[in-house]
Amino acid sequence: METERRVLVVEDERTIAEAVAARLRAEGFTVEVAGDGPAAVEAARRTQPDAVVLDVMLPGFDGLEVCRRLQNERPVPILMLTARDDETDLLVGLAVGADDYMVKPFSMRELAARVHALLRRAAKVAVVPAGPPTLRVGDLEINQGERRVVRAGVEAHLTPTEFDLLVHLAAHPRTVLPRERLLADVWGWADASGTRTVDSHIKGLRRKLGADLIRTVHGVGYALEVER
């Protein structure tokens, strides 16, 4: 078990970068800061961080491109920071492999809680052996050992978070799961503001697996709906 955990903070606004770095160091993390896209990719290669806090708006190339490149090289949990509550940015960010996001301005307490949650999840995925190797619900087939998903014979490429969310829904088909419970079970933290993180990942699953797969129960949550 590693004792020293490394977090890479990528943000060009120095006051924010320094405040985030100071808070994470106070939490016991070793923190490296990068101020633009190319520096972020270089720092990630050099320091092999356990998690990345990544601003979207960066000089060089943006946070979405950083996310894409990091996930291609070595999957790492990523918390994305966005300036606006812009749904397009968020969906693209989640699609390229970010696990969670926060909209500025955010509290340092919450940021620290989210980074801890990301690392807990990553540790769980690494340590816990898969349950039933393959989960079949209707035309959906989820191979937990290989973390692969096929619907009606077509493979879908999910991010690690999308995969975990789908497994939770598929474990209780046709059952409405409250957003707060999904947030607690999949992301490891619960906070009313976080339920939009769940909504955004549901959109990603529908885009990749078909809009009919997951039913929205307004004001409550989501249910996996597969025929047969």
Contacts with Ca ion, residue ranges (CB under 5 A): 12, 55, 57
What is the nearest approach in angstroms of Ca ion to the Cβ of residue 90? 16
Nearer to Ca ion, 63 or 97 (CB): 63
Query: How distant, in Å, are the alpha carbons of 84, 93, 95, 152, 210 from that of 123?
Result: 30, 22, 22, 32, 30
Helix (H, G, I), strand (E, B) or coil at 103: strand
Tokens of 110: 């919450």
What is the nearest approach in angstroms of Ca ion to the Cβ of residue 65? 14
Is 161 exposed, middle or buried (CB count within 10 Å of its CB: 0-12, 13-18, 19+)? Answer: buried
Question: CB neighbours of 74 closer than 8 A, spacing ≥ 6?
Answer: 44, 48
Nearer to Ca ion, 32 or 55 (CB): 55
What is the nearest approach in angstroms of Ca ion to the Cβ of residue 10? 9
Nearer to Ca ion, 13 or 191 (CB): 13
What is the nearest approach in angstroms of Ca ion to the Cβ of residue 104? 9
Nearer to Ca ion, 62 or 162 (CB): 62
Nearer to Ca ion, 55 or 99 (CB): 55
Nearer to Ca ion, 11 or 50 (CB): 11
Question: CB neighbours of 128 closer than 8 A, spacing ≥ 6?
Answer: none
Is residue 53 within 8 Å of 112, Cβ to Cβ?
no
What is the nearest approach in angstroms of Ca ion to the Cβ of residue 98? 15
Tokens of 192: 């009313």
Tokens of 74: 């070595």
What is the nearest approach in angstroms of Ca ion to the Cβ of residue 11? 6
> How far is Cα of residue 8 from the mean position of the Cα atoms in its chain?
16
